[in-house]
Each structure stands twice: as C-alpha cells, then as structure tokens.
C-alpha cells in the first residue's frame, strides 16, 4: 500500500467498502500502487495496468488496455463508443466484487501478460474521424487555424473533433468551434 494513495480511500463518501475491496484484490496481484490522474493506479514495471475510480452510480476497476483482454466472462464494459483501449468492470456492492474476485485476478494477470508481450492497441487514426462541417469550413477559411490544428497532437485533435461532433445541432457545433478557436491557435488541447 502506498500512503500517498490512502487519502483517496478515506475521502470516499460513497463506495468506500467497495473501493477498499478492489484495492486489496489488486495488491494481492503484486502490482505497485501509485496516484495518477487523482485516482489509484496500479502498475507493473512502470506500466499502467488498472485504475480504481468511483462515480455517482457505481465504482469501477478500469483496465488500461482492456480491449486487448479476452473477456471470456463478458464482464468488461466500454465506457463510451469513443473509448478505444480502456474497459471497465462496474460494481454497486461488495458482494458483486466478491462473486467475481477470481475472475478479476485472472484478468489482472492477463493484463500484465499483455504488457509483457508488448501488445499495443491499434488506435483509430485522426483522419478516420469525420470532422464536423462547421469546423471544416473554419479550417478551410483560416490558414492559421488549420496550421495550428494540424500541429496539435493526434489526441488533442481527436478531442476537439469528438467534442465538436457531439453537439446535435449545427448552431451548437458552430458555437463550440468559435469558443475554442483561440485555444487551438495557442496550441492547447480541449482540457489544457
């Protein structure tokens, strides 16, 4: 146990028992406990394997490269259609965790094997995403914007494309694009 991570479990207003149970299971698998992105992250030889996190409706164990796991038991969940690599197992009680504990451990060991084998997720490339018309028009009319956007990392480009595309109405997409043009020109990502 890493004392720097203890606060996460102590501050939990909801799911405290469930989070503690997940922590014990993971530590039984001999992973190193760290704090990354404000949540407990468990690593093997410096590589991220699983995270624990809590939400309003559930707590979860998130496998960083979950899409590469076999998931013979069908318990892994893709959070949203745009999540390419990570997969979650969600819980709302300690009993649910206890029932699948051996499966969780097997999946954790499999995730370590994926790391040791050097397997990589085949991420969808940025050009494969549809750029919303409202943003495409701005890029076509503004050379500086186009240059700045293409200078961003692929992840930052995808972040903008997905955010702009998520709006159902053209007016909302247009508004989002306008709002973030200065940030793109400054070379920053959506959440920078």
Which tens digit of pLDDT belongs to each residue from 77-117? 998 777 778 999 999 999 999 999 999 999 999 999 999 99
Token representation of residue 79: 């959070």
What are the distances in angstroms from CA 70 to CA 79, 87, 97? 17, 12, 19
Cα torsion 63, 67, 73, 77: sign: positive
pTM for the full predicted model: 0.71
Q: How confident is the model at residue 125 (pLDDT cuts 50, 70, 90)?
A: low
Burial 115-145 (b: 16+ CB within 10 A, else e): beeeeeeeeeebeeeebbebbeebbeeeeeb
Which tens digit of pLDDT belongs to each residue from 20-47? 999 999 999 999 999 998 899 999 999 9
Domain 6-116, architecture per CATH:
Alpha-Beta Complex (3.90)
173: region left, alpha or beta (phi > 0 left; psi from -120 to 50 alpha): alpha
Q: Where are the domains of the chain?
A: 6-116, 126-185
Compute the distance between CA of residue 31 and CA of residue 138 in angstroms, rounded to an integer: 47
């Amino acid at each position: 146990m890493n004392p720097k991570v203890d606060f996460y479990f102590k501050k939990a207003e909801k799911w405290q028992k469930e989070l503690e149970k997940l922590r014990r299971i993971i530590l039984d698998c001999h992973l190193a406990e760290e704090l990354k992105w404000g949540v407990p992250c468990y690593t093997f030889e410096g590589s991220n394997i699983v995270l624990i996190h809590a939400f309003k409706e559930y707590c979860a164990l998130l496998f960083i490269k979950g899409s590469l796991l076999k998931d013979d038991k069908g318990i892994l969940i893709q959070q949203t259609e745009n999540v390419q690599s990570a997969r979650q197992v969600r819980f709302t009680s300690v009993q649910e965790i206890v029932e699948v504990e051996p499966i969780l451990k097997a999946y954790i060991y499999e995730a370590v094997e994926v790391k040791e084998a050097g397997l990589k997720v085949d991420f969808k490339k940025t050009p494969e995403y549809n750029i919303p018309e409202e943003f495409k028009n701005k890029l076509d009319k503004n050379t500086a914007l186009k240059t700045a956007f293409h200078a961003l990392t692929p992840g930052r480009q995808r972040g903008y494309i997905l955010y702009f595309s998520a709006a159902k109405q053209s007016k909302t997409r247009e508004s989002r694009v306008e709002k973030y043009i200065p940030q793109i020109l400054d070379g920053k990502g959506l959440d920078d």
